[in-house]
Amino acid sequence: MILAVTMNPSVDISYHLHEFKLDDVNRVENARKTAGGKGLNVARVLAQMNEEVLATGVLGGTIGEYIVQELKKSNIPNDFLKIDKESRNCIAILHEGRQTEILESGPTLTKEEGEDFLGKFNDLLSNVSFVTISGSLPKGLAADFYQQMLTMSKKKGVPVLLDTSGEPLRKALLHTEKPLAIKPNTEELSQLLGMEVDGRISSLKHALDHKLFKGIKWIVVSMGKYGAFVRHGADDYRITIPKIDVVNPVGSGDATVAGLAVALNRNQPVENVLKTAMTTGMLNTMEAGTGSINMTKFDQYFDLVIVERID
């Protein structure tokens, strides 16, 4: 079973607008609301892939209740730490082929609430074979919070795929107990390293040579429609994907994380791992729902992904 962690879940609202008018009224006909936060997108895709999944994290208030109801509707088992504060809304506005996001920061947790969650996490670790940790930390928790989760996971022999950014990612990479895998995009890499990383192979190789990445077995740099660049141990791969008609790209990175987690948890060979991750990312862009894939198209798109080893 895969444990999908979302420390700061949300109700994700997406608005499709023909034109986004600033300083004016924008009326929306189709508002989509989903239980969100990156880890919940991961959990939903895991469930759609028929993987046994348990969603966890911290939530509260009426928004928290809505999230739990939505998970129940989708038959996603969940066990969250409930707090006495309101979880957040996150809004994505899709307009003119662009995406404008308005993200609430969410509740501030106390040290005790952080510790309560770590206790719960430690218990849940006993029954799972793989962990995904996605997204930002709630306010109030120290940037080394994910480090503590990595230490606990290591003690129980459970591998972790960590998909976060900024300081929590830097701290986790510097930690002695490394995540098995990370999935930054080029923007997150640039931010982490304080230098411009673009999609050129030379730029990506140079970035991943940084000492921060030492000891991370799988580094999957996702690049939207350009596929991904991957470092697995000493081997580098370029992954090319077909051109597809994108309906909603929100959550593609999370769907990629879910694909990676499933394939790694099932001990698949390298090429399959990478093809699975790209396929779930692509399938997510083809659906209107955020963090949602149609598995009936899986084989068709899996076969179109090209994995090349590069020197």
Q: Please tell me the distance from the alpha carbon of residue 91 to that of residue 146, in angstroms, as a whole number.
A: 26
From residue 49, alpha-carbon distances to 71, 126, 173, 181, 263 in Å are: 16, 23, 29, 20, 11
Tell me which of 12, 163, 236, 254 is the catalytic residue: 254
Name which of residues 133 to 192 contact ligand ADP (CB under 6 A): 185
Establish if 276 lies at the interface with ligand ADP (CB under 6 A): no
- Of 1-9, 50-58, 123-131, 218-226, the window that binds ligand ADP (rule: CB under 6 A) is 218-226
Cβ-based neighbours of 74, under 8 Å, separated by 6 or more: 35, 44, 47
Q: Report the nearest approach of ligand ADP to the CB of residue 68 (Å).
A: 25
Q: How far is the CB of 182 from ligand ADP (least distance, A)?
A: 11
Q: Does 291 bind ligand ADP (CB under 6 A)?
A: no
Is 278 near ligand ADP (CB under 6 A)? yes
Q: Does 256 bind ligand ADP (CB under 6 A)?
A: yes
The least distance separating ligand ADP from the CB of residue 284, rounded to whole angstroms, comes to 6
Q: Using CB under 6 A, which residues numbered 1 to 20 contact ligand ADP?
A: none
Among positions 87-106, residues that touch ligand ADP (CB under 6 A) are none
How many residues in the shown chain lie near ligand ADP by CB under 6 A? 18
Name which position in 227, 262, 263, 265 contacts ligand ADP (CB under 6 A).
Answer: 227
Q: What is the rounded CA–CA span in Å between residue 274 and residue 276? A: 5
Name the segment binding ligand ADP (CB under 6 A); options: 58-66, 71-79, 81-89, 274-282: 274-282
7 versus 81: smaller Cβ distance to ligand ADP: 7
Q: Does 254 participate in catalysis according to the annotation?
A: yes
Q: Tell which one of 281, 289, 293, 298 touches ligand ADP (CB under 6 A).
A: 281
Q: Which residue is nearest to ligand ADP (CB)?
A: 253
The distance of closest approach from Cβ of residue 186 to ligand ADP in the complex, given in angstroms and rounded to an integer, is 8
Least distance in angstroms from the C-beta of 101 to ligand ADP = 11
Q: Which stretch binds ligand ADP (CB under 6 A): 95-103, 110-118, 219-227, 293-301?
A: 219-227
Given the rule CB under 6 A, which residues bind ligand ADP? 185, 222-225, 227-228, 241, 244, 246, 249, 252-253, 256, 278, 281-282, 285
So which residues are the catalytic ones?
254
